[in-house]
Amino acid sequence: MESLDLRVLHDALAWHRAGHAVALVTVVQTWGSAPRPPGALLAIRDDGLLSGSVSGGCVEDDLIARTQAALKAPGLSTGAARPCLITYGVSQEEAARFGLPCGGTLRLLQEPLLDVGWVVELLARTAAQQLVARTVTLETGAVQLRSAERAQAMQFDGLTLTTVFGPKWRLLLIGAGQLSQAVARIALMLDFEVLVCDPREEYGATLSSAVPGIRRVEGMPDDVVREMQPDAHTAIVALTHDPKLDDMALLEALQSQAYYVGALGSRRNQIARKQRLAEHFDLTAEQLERLHGPVGLALGARTPAEIAVTIVAEMIQVRRQLGAAPSGVPGAGPN
């Protein structure tokens, strides 16, 4: 599995190589209530085929017509075409006509895909788990790629647009069983770099083939957590259901800057776990309060896939709630 934006770039590259004219459209700014956030990406082929979304369907029909006209305009074949800004929903009437909720406004950057060299490089670098910043200059259409930081956000100053691709977040899963594999698949779609640690060879041996895109980390879980130095863009979830493996990893995780720490187990098991951690390892009440257990939102999930949804949903919920700085965690929080 891969993130939706990278899927858009894969499709755009394939279309271009097949001889189609292609344009990329990026959400640059939003005002009011907008269906898709800044940075959301859409590719439009010359015959109207789409990959991705910039509005959840509100403006796509009009955007297809505009893009098809732009792709047929003189100068495209010679490279003279340049990016342009498109705004929807300036007035209440236009917002209503396009179905934008609450009078929302979208500003989009439309750019013809002429040179795919940067697409090839970006996809190769993100496949290697690198975080890449792409900057396009509106006046010329020139594209530059450079390494990005995990906390780096999209930037637009009217002259250039910089978007970030690749694993913006890290997720360490303790345990490589069926539930971990389901969580990993969902997390990969959400731009997490997924690391899995399980010293039990019978679980870890087939992990990479089961879920392409994840990385197995060798070693005992507590050593792995300590060595990776979790930051405020890191989530750690213990899913082995084995206290010998989970507890030591959680001990390190709860003392780190990780924005989310969760553990599998019933409410009774979680109470016993917190007592063990408090009595034997002197964790503070504030540190223990950071532990999400039973892990995941209470949705009545039963199957591994359903439980995986609740876990990732809670990770996203906590991330959105934190906003600036995680409670009880030193340093800046996730963006």
| 283-327 residue pLDDT tens | 888 999 999 989 999 999 999 999 999 999 999 999 988 863 333
Domains of the chain, earliest start first: 4-165 (no CATH), 169-322 (3.40.50.720)
Query: Mean of the pLDDT values across residues 163-169?
Result: 90
What does the pLDDT look like over 194-241, one tens digit per residue? 999 998 877 766 676 788 888 899 999 999 999 999 999 999 999 988
Backbone angles phi, psi at 51, to 5 degrees: -140, 125
> What pLDDT, on the 0 to 100 scale, is given for residue 211?
85
> What pLDDT, on the 0 to 100 scale, is given for residue 221?
94
Mean model confidence pLDDT for the chain = 85
> What pLDDT, on the 0 to 100 scale, is given for residue 202?
75
> What pLDDT, on the 0 to 100 scale, is given for residue 241?
84
The pTM assigned to this predicted structure is 0.74
Q: Cα Rg for the chain, rounded, in angstroms?
A: 22
For 214: left if phi > 0, alpha if psi spans -120 to 50, otherwise beta; the answer is beta
Nearest alpha carbon to residue 183 among 239, 266, 113, 137 = 239
Nearest alpha carbon to residue 238 among 262, 267, 256 = 262
Nearest alpha carbon to residue 38 among 28, 25, 46, 51 = 28
